[in-house]
Amino acid sequence: MTAFLAFLWGLRFAITSSALLGPFAFRHYAIKAFHEHKKRPLFLSGRDRMAAMSAAERRNETHKRAPNCRHPRFVFKTKDVCTRTPHGIICFHTVKDFDALIEAFQPLMLVDDQVRVAPDGKYCWIIREKEGVRRVYAMKVICEQEIGSLHNFIFLLSSEDGPLLKEDDKFINAHEVIAAGELEVTGAKREFNLQSGTFMEPIFRMSAWQPILGRRIPKTKEMLVAEIKEKEKEVAARAAQVARFLSADQLATFAYMSPPTPVGSLTRTNIVEHVKSVSEALGGRPFIKGAEIMVSENNMGFLHSLLSPDLPEWKRPLHVSTFKNAKTPYAKHAKHATQAKNPYAKKGGARRTRRTRRRHKKQTRRR
């Protein structure tokens, strides 16, 4: 910002001097201001600018990377998944410092040839195209919460400084991602899939209803079979493109998973779940879901230094006030306790309908 203001000041000086000294002075001062401004780091690329900085300057510069992605869901899975440790299960909820987290995980990201010769393990990867050049980025999975290896976080680390989200919470440059998924390396065997809820799910997603405006009619089996065949052709085409990026000898294989067949006829009640399971199967066999990955002691210390298992303020349960000498809470618990003692007690607040009045009278007469 300072460099840009200096450029504007030089331009203003050139314009005012041109009125006094003529057009040659304007040209001289304008060119001089432009070249002085071009020497500033603003004209350098993000990677060159970060390399030219010292460690302290780089630490202060990281806050410009994805300022509108400061939420745990861009770093790890936050729903129904926890981290397994030798001492038990722990669930991380909050990030202590996003700048420190980005700086800690940035050197761990594998790029291009580093991915093709990666050692045994499970990885999350994305193939991204920038200015006509395709590159593959990957991070090793160290826990089931995919801390630091989430596809969102890999996209964040492989991006330049600046905001990444639109107003609808979607990535601005999501079209640059050609494919994304998981990679499992076991010796000479390399298998990959296209499982990514962020980038691949919109491609493989299927609708359970026929394209009839204003009506919700389930698709027939014949329609679903034809649509699945078209989707499988697209999966095969993308898998062929991905194989050469994930293996040096192009021997990486796609972990194909056959779509489930419906049991019985498809109705309004079961077609949605069936189509959802088919869409998930199109991405291939998952490697991380249900793998029960155990975190090492070194990684646990690393994660504890960056994350916390404490819930954020807006997720913490509200405190229920109680009397000092009361055995039960005074709030809604006392109400439930009185209803449990008297099954004919009034329910649903002070409002009663005619039907509930008649029902209450009948119950009191029986008593």
User: Is the pLDDT assigned to residue 74 strictly greater than 70?
Assistant: yes
pLDDT in tens, 309-361: 888 766 666 554 444 444 444 444 444 444 444 544 445 554 556 667 777 66
Note the pLDDT of residue 259: 86
Note the pLDDT of residue 192: 94
User: What spatial distance separates the first Cα and last Cα of the chain, rounded to whole Å?
Assistant: 81
Confidence of residue 40 (pLDDT cuts 50, 70, 90): very low
Average pLDDT over residues 287-312: 88
Query: 180 — phi, psi (to 5°)?
Result: -155, 150
Cβ(218)–Cβ(268) below 8 Å: yes
Cβ(221)–Cβ(310) below 8 Å: no
Task: Average the pLDDT over each of 86-90, 158-162, 217-221, 322-326 and give the range with the smallest value.
Answer: 322-326
pLDDT in tens, 89-132: 999 999 999 999 999 999 999 999 899 889 999 999 999 998 88
Q: Catalogue the E-assigned strands of the chain.
A: 83-85, 88-90, 94-95, 110-111, 121-130, 133-140, 177-186, 189-192, 253-254, 307-308
Domain ranges of the chain: 2-43, 59-313, 320-346
Cβ(99)–Cβ(62) below 8 Å: yes
**In the block, which residue shows the tokens 């490697």?**
287
CA dihedral 97, 98, 101, 105 (to 10 degrees): 180
Give 216 or 58, the one with higher predicted confidence: 216
- CA dist., res. 157 & res. 275, Å (int): 33
pLDDT in tens, 229-276: 999 999 999 898 888 888 877 678 999 998 888 777 778 888 888 888
Q: CA dist 93 to 63, 96, 311, Å?
A: 21, 10, 6
Q: Catalogue the E-assigned strands of 153-221.
A: 177-186, 189-192
Q: CA dist 298 to 86, 302, 305, 308, Å?
A: 12, 6, 11, 16
pLDDT in tens, 282-293: 999 999 988 889
